[in-house]
Amino acid sequence: MTKKRDILITEVALRDGSHAIAHQFTVEQVVKVAKALEEAHVPYIEVSHGDGLAGSSLQYGLSRTNEFELIEAAASVCEQSKIAVLLLPGIGTMNDLRQASNLGAKMARIATHVTEADVSAQHIGLAKELGMETVGFLMMSHMAPVEKLVEQGRLMESYGADIVYVVDSAGALLPHQVRERIQALKQHVGVEIGFHGHNNLSLAMANTLVAIEEGATRIDGSVRCLGAGAGNTQTEVLVAVLDRLGIETGVDLYKMMDLAEDIVAPILSVPQEITKDSLVLGYAGVYSSFQLHAQRAAKKLGIDSRDILIELGKRKVVGGQEDMIVDVAAEIAKKKLEKTAR
């Protein structure tokens, strides 16, 4: 008999973690991770390119393996765990969502910038038609006042979303800001509330616990912290902490520990930690997936990647504007050259 779960966890390492390894997941890796997550009784496993369905491109980063192969492979080894996919309208299409559903995806997470929920209506509607559990995913939630966040959450609810998420894409929110946002959504939105954190300011766990205190029941985690920037709330640690608090997740802690140590750790070329670049992401409020792009541009042009990220933060550049990273880097390099020539 399945225990009642107080909190439902979505494991995002096979999507958000794609950023950390430059979208190089193989079918074998995805199968091993998904199978282990199924055995650990994790209820939802998100699988797709880091930028969602159809994200594989020169702008966002080319995948080593077609994501639909990865989705199908994960679904093939999961009977109880449900496969989730992320879709950003304007990147992923309605046909991509249909294909993911046909391959076994049971949850659609429709993601927009925090002020642009109106572009999600058709995709949320289609996900519902397909019989998928549907999430409204409000990214970069630190960039809008609480009132705006509530307005956008209510729009997603009106389109049919079963759950509305506060998404701290930059890892920039402080605990009191998470509290304000979750409280407001709980008061004004009638569906379940979720929280997705990043650890760029070392606050992912604290922010997640605050979200839970205020009534969030859907929580994202990434095993071994495998995610963009400094990663997400670390799933195996979260399960342990919630168990200490008497909060039921239904997830097997030992099996999550073993998965983290034996399967996921070898996938990482370097350990997930708060580096100077990931720290700047949170400090400047920059989309976590920009880190690798900024590092590459900085290396090519001989400048400091932190300068790129700080400038992107000043310009309030958001996901989908990755082309701005190279433009900003070129401007900084030009100014540096001009200064040297004086």
Rounded CA gap, 194 and 171, in Å? 15
List 19, 113, 142, 293, catalytic entry: 19
Contact 174, 136 (CB under 8 A): no
Residue 287 annotated as part of some ligand binding site: yes
Is 19 a catalytic site residue? yes
Residue 15 annotated as part of some ligand binding site: yes
Rounded CA gap, 60 and 102, in Å? 25
Residue 57 annotated as part of some ligand binding site: no
Residue among 121, 74, 73, 71 nearest 96 (CA): 71
Q: Which two tokens stand for residue 22?
A: 């430059």
Crossing angle of the two packed helices 290-301 and 305-314, in degrees rounded to 10: 130
Residue 198 annotated as part of some ligand binding site: yes
Q: What angle is formed at CA 244 by the lines to CA 239 and CA 249, rounded to 5 degrees?
A: 35
| Helix boundaries (H) for the chain | 16-20, 27-39, 67-76, 94-102, 121-129, 146-159, 175-188, 204-213, 235-244, 253-258, 276-284, 290-301, 305-314, 323-341
Annotated binding site for Mn(2+): 16, 196, 198
**Residue positions annotated with a catalytic role:** 19
Binding-site residue set:
15-16, 169, 196, 198, 287
Question: Which residue ranges make up the annotated binding site for substrate?
Answer: 15-16, 169, 196, 287
